[in-house]
Structure 1
Amino acid sequence: MLRLLLHHLGKARFRLLLLAFPLVLTLIYFSSRAEFYELYYERPRLRIPGRQPAHSPDWWVEFFTRLQATRVKARPVKFKGEAPLLNWAPDLKDEERPQLLRLSEKDEALFRESHENFVRQLPLFAKHLPYKENTTGIVTTAGAPNFGQAISLVLMTRQSGSQLPIEIVLDSSTAWIDWVCENTMPRFGATCLYLEDEWVGIGQLVPKLERYQWKFIAIIASTFQNIMFLDADCLPVRSPDPIFDDGAEPFTSTGFIAWPDFWAPSASPLFYKIAGGLDVPTVASRTTSESGVMVFDKARHADTILLAAYYNYNGPNHYYPMLTQHGPGEGDKESFFQAALVLEGLRKLGVYKQPTEWMKPGVGVKKGYWDVKMLPRSHGRSIGDQWRGMFMQQMDPIEDYRAVMAALEKRKQEDAQKAGDTEEKSNSEAKAASHNNNSAEEADTDAQSSEKRKRSWEIWAFTSSDPDSNSDDTATLNTPAYPPGPQHNPHSNDNNSNISNTDKNGTFADEESYLTDSTFLSSLPPDFSTLLHHDESKFMFFHHNGVKPDFTLVLDSRAGILAKNKEKKYVRMWGDPGWIVQRLGRDVEKLLWEASMEIYCQGGLTGRWRLLERVCRKMRKVWEEVYADKTEIQEEDT
């Protein structure tokens, strides 16, 4: 009986093995494909060789704990309607700023309490924002949905001639991204940063981050002191490296550069009330900012970055809608520049004492901000009567600084000429008047002339710390030889200032000597834009916010990378390349396409992931039809 039972069990086991064999083969097959790894396999985290982030878990604990402790406890803000889509113009009136936000007294008080509590701890908190001293690099953020954009950014950065290292902060990943980070990015001087490596054990403190919030995390996580943050779809077409050269303006005298968007500002006036009772900027003072490209010195602007982090941490339900009132581009875009404006305003009111550790003798830098005045230009692709937006061009900030300084010099000369003409006319009229009237008129004329010169100099004073200086060198910084001392700062106190270096006479340099008063940029007269003469060929970035520059999407006809004309032939992404070749000296689009093919057609990728093999084949087909000449095709065939 036992032998019979074992016999039947053996047959059953055999049948089970026969049934399981096809299933095992199927699992083996699919486990070698990308879809399996990406959708089902929870892989171990790769440690990418090379430099890793320097931020300790203890610092991240402090960071998230401070944000959580000061979070906004008010109810989510709500509006009736949304701000109109209004293009910026220098003659806009203040009444065109929408006022759609209403807060109860309780919620307004909760907002104000939260803001005050965070700003109060900034001087101490900002002293130890982590970075590697005297390093400079480019930072972006990407993840599984858009890593192809980051690849394009890296390739275009190197095509531009930039030698700056690049850090890609990943918000998510897949197996093929891990492979590229490990095997390809180091060849281009790029490093992928996996923040999960730093957040091990503190996951309960890390909030669920939405799309826009990863930008402030990337800036914080970057290891560089001087950073250029770029959205993954913002492509450098000229090398940005000169921005950081010694003495280069405006970075030397500000440490923070922002670029403009198209729209008029639509922040609620309540934001400035909550932030400390600050004056509401005029609508005509500047456009909204474009946070897809920003430059920071983390030493000088640690407090600015951390206040922006506070706005973003409380962004989705509170500060994002408050800063735009549901206007165009709602998200993180206004949080960084507004942080700089708020801290400057609070410092001038005497209620905020900034960190001064960065103020070192002989370094030759100042703290302020510069918002580029050259507006962006749109570019799109036309096929027949169909137009599709591709990117907007953003200006080289060095060229923008030159144009603004030249316009200020021209205005200064015009004011002096007008003052002289007024004085000469008054003197002529005075000769025909009585002696008493003549004396009165001359006194009045002198007063008018003096006031005009004073107003002119108040604008021009940005470029010189010595009003009596006759120097024409508008880029020279008069940085003190010694750091500032607390007794020269009316808002300092012994608990908040540890700078006490003195010169041989026992005197201190004034803290104000290390600051650039950037407020003049918001008080330029409405007709000032007519004086600006930029070299418009000196654009530096193509912010590809129309069609995303992700070549994994060439298989998706809806993505917009590929399009056909009426003859059913593929056309270029950017249309006629003539104007780009003329201004940059190279066919940027063709070079990007070819460099991208080299990435996506690597055997290490195509041999493992069938989807990327199809991407490679599609890119080669389009290249042969659109970009290659016959000689190149013949060489490819051989």
Structure 2
Amino acid sequence: MPVFKAATVLRLLPIPIVLIIYYTFVQIRIHSDATYFRLPLWATTNAPPSFRTKAATASSFNLTETKSTFSPAMKDFWNDLSLSLEDARPQCPPLQVKDGHPTSLETTFEPLNISKIPPARLVNFTDEHETVLSASHYLMRNSVQRLAPRLVFSKGSQGIVTTANPKYIPIFLVSLRMLRRTGCQLPVEVFIDNWTKYDPIVCDSVLPSLNAACVVLSEIYDTAPNIRPPASYQFKLFALLFSSFQHTLFFDSDAFPAHDPTSLFSTHPYTTHGLVVWPDLFGLTVSEHYYHIAGIPYESPSTRPSTESGIVLLDKEKQRESLLMMVYYNYYGPEYYYSLLCQGSHGAGDKETFVQAAMAVGAPWYQVKTGVVGLGYFEHGKYRLSGLAQMDPRSDFAYGPPSKSHIHPENRWQEAEGGGWEAQVRPKPWFVHQNMHKLNPTRILEMDGTTAKTRSGNYTRMWGDREGVVEMFGYDVERRVWEVIVEEGCRLDEASEVCMKLGEYFAEVFGTVDSIDE
């Protein structure tokens, strides 16, 4: 056995001490900082939900758990609201609508056709239906007046709200990165329906790095007894209801701003109305029976276009009662109000519940008058629509565009008309709703009919030539979109096939991958 001198032992002694200190420090960091805590892939995919939740919260701080902890005041309010929703349940069979969509004649917005009437597509709708629905509506309207003063939110706060599930998270991350590219620093709350949809990496690492956080809707929703679980369009209104912000911008996971939306909260029409919505491509198809049920004046289909509800500005202080009626219309939407308000039209669902709820309680609302613009391009004489551009509500409110008429075929001023209407005062697009071909980095180049490829399979811009995009938005917003798609598509693995194909696309269509923001 070798013999060590005392001096040698003393020289070697610090080594294990350093190793012990290092190991202890690393363990502390792993267990105290969520950004250092990484689960193995099997733990985030195949493991049971209960294990995923416990494993992800092994750190001392979990942002999703914190954001999903609702106050006793919110729980009490929701309990009372849920009872009122059930008390006002319509006591008649669900409504039915004729199969298919209304005809183009029925859904075309015709402001000069003052004799135009809504489609009559309800099947076997009787006076008994109307009487029962009217009584239930009246009951809920009374409950709303009682509950509205107790609506819970953080007074004066501003923020952005959306909903997403695992399928739409990649699409939303593109939208979120586009939001941050505008310079907007507003906080974002992303509502997921329950813990089975929770991804610890996305919710507690990726999103917080972009000033966003997941909120688990079931943590508050399920506290009410005998309440039915939400589905589809209903999630949007419950996200708005339970969000912490007073001043809220909601956009769908496939929508995003082209410019910083923060200033919209401090200018007209938001400050005067508290509810701002944007138009759709179609006309109103609200049933005449709805106005009898709600006890409000009839609104002609020639008055305004239908609502494109992928983007909404809402002030909870001004719209307390409206918001609760929106919740009611959506809670009973699939059985009753989606049929009454949309009658199976394009985008049937929550789209008309916003304005109609405000009308039902006599609250102000503003729908942008400048019409929505399609984003796409012509190929062999046929237009390939990719998404929609929605206009700046501030300049829309300020300058008052013309309605369609025999001398104005479009609901916007034309260059040739002059009259002092310079290009910079006419509304320009502020938002994009890419609802035709979702911007999922893993699928955008491969999905059937993608507008990122011509019919012959060649790569191309989705929204037309660069000059047209710059003229419309003020800069090449499509190039920025593809920078973000490449960024998100390559986030996990720069050597992946998806990342390589996105890079090839960008190089061929836009040139070198150097950010315009730099």
TM-score normalised to structure 1 length: 0.65
Q: Say whether 1:108 aligns with 2:130.
A: yes
User: After superposition, where does 1:236-635 map in structure 2 within 5 Å?
Assistant: 236-245=257-266, 248-276=267-295, 278-344=296-362, 368-385=364-381, 387-404=383-400, 533=413, 535-536=425-426, 538-554=428-444, 556-558=446-448, 560=450, 562-564=452-454, 566=456, 568-602=457-491, 605-606=492-493, 613-629=496-512
Larger radius of gyration: 1
Contact 1:72–1:111 at 8 Å: present in 2 too? Answer: yes
What SS does the corresponding residue of 1:341 show, helix, strand or coil?
helix
Match of 2:179 in 1: 157
Q: CA deviation at 1:292?
A: 1.0
- CA distance in 2 between counterparts of 1:171 and 1:388 reads 34
Q: Which amino acid aligns with 1:545?
A: N
Native 8 Å contact 1:376 1:395 kept in 2: yes
Displacement after TM superposition at 1:565 (Å): 6.1
Q: Which residue identity does 1:573 align to in structure 2?
A: M
Q: What residue identity is the alignment partner of 1:335?
A: T
The yes-or-no answer on 1:96 pairing with 2:117 is yes
Give the share of equivalent positions with the same residue, in percent. Answer: 27
Seen in structure 2, the aligned counterparts of structure 1 residues 336 and 39 have a Cα distance that, compared at 3 Å, is farther
Structure 1 residue 162, shift from structure 2 partner: 1.9
Compute the displacement of 1:211 (Å): 1.0
SS at match of 1:60: helix
Structure 1 distance, partners of 2:189, 2:342, is 30
Tell me how far apart the structure 2 counterparts of residues 397 and 232 of structure 1 sit (CA, whole Å).
21
* CA–CA distance in structure 1, aligned partners of residues 312 and 161 of structure 2: 10
- State the SS of the aligned residue for 2:281: coil
Q: Mind listing any 5+ residue stretches in structure 1 that lack a counterpart?
A: 1-30, 345-366, 408-523, 634-638
Indicate how the Cα distance of structure 1 residues 68 and 574 shifts in structure 2: closer, same or farther if over 3 A, else same: same
Match of 1:515 in 2: none
Tell me by how many angstroms 1:613 deviates.
Answer: 4.2
Please list the CA deviations of residues 571-624 of structure 1 after superposition, one character each: whole Å capped at 9, or x if unmatched.
Answer: 22333222223444433222222233333433xx349xxxx9443333233233
- How far the C-alpha of 1:243 sits from its partner, in A, is 1.1
CA distance in 2, matches of 1:103, 1:340: 25
Paired amino acid for 1:340: A
Task: Supply the distance in 2 between the matched residues of 1:255 and 1:303 (Cα, whole angstroms).
Answer: 12
Alpha-carbon separation, structure 1, partners of 2:327 and 2:498: 38
- Deviation, 1:564, is 4.6
Distance 1:552 1:176 in 2: 20
CA contact (8 A) 1:74 1:108 kept: no
Aligned length: 451
Q: Which residue of 2 aligns with 1:44?
A: 52
Partners of 2:435 and 2:237 lie apart in 1 by 19
Q: Look up the match of 2:103.
A: 84
Q: Secondary structure at the match of 2:135?
A: helix
- Structure 2 segments unaligned to the other structure (5+ residues): 1-38, 414-420
Matched to 2:112, the amino acid is D
**1:213-257 per-position Cα deviation (integer Å, ceiling 9, x unaligned):** 111111112110001111111121022111112xx2111211111
Shift of 1:330: 1.0
2:233 is paired with a residue whose SS is helix
* Counterpart-to-counterpart distance in 2, 1:201 and 1:279: 37
Instruction: Indicate whether 1:195 and 2:217 are aligned.
Output: yes
Contact 2:192 2:198 in 1 (8 A): no
Work out whether residues 161 and 239 of structure 2, in 8 Å CA contact, stay in contact via their aligned partners in 1.
yes
- Secondary structure of 2:166's counterpart equals coil
Secondary structure in 1 matching 2:431? strand
Which digits, 9 at most, give the CA deviation of each residue in 1:426-481, with x for residues without a partner? xxxxxxxxxxxxxxxxxxxxxxxxxxxxxxxxxxxxxxxxxxxxxxxxxxxxxxxx
Shift of residue 527 of structure 1? 8.0
In 2, Cα distance between the equivalents of 1:620 and 1:159? 20
Provide closer, same or farther for how the CA distance between residues 201 and 280 of structure 1 changes in structure 2, counting only shifts above 3 A: closer
The answer (yes or no) to whether the contact 1:150–1:168 under 8 Å persists in 2 is no
Distance 1:249 1:619, change over 3 A: same
Taking the aligned partners of 1:168 and 1:294, their CA distance within structure 2 comes to 15
* Equivalent position amino acid for 1:255 in 2: G
Task: Please give the alpha-carbon distance, in whole angstroms, between the structure 1 residues aligned to 2:119 and 2:152.
Answer: 39
* Distance change in 2, residues 1:613/1:208 (3 Å): farther
**Greater strand content:** 2
CA shift, 1:135, in A, is 0.5
Query: If each structure's helix is expressed as a fraction of its own residues, which one has the higher value?
Result: 1
Are residue 221 (structure 1) and residue 242 (structure 2) matched? yes
Contact 2:278–2:309 under 8 Å retained in 1: yes
Residue matched to 1:636: none
Q: Distance in 2 between matches of 1:99 and 1:291?
A: 23
Match of 1:476 in 2: none
In the alignment, the residues of structure 2 paired with residue 286 and residue 385 of structure 1 have an alpha-carbon distance, to the nearest angstrom, of 30
CA gap 1:38/1:172 in 2 versus in 1, 3 angstroms:
farther
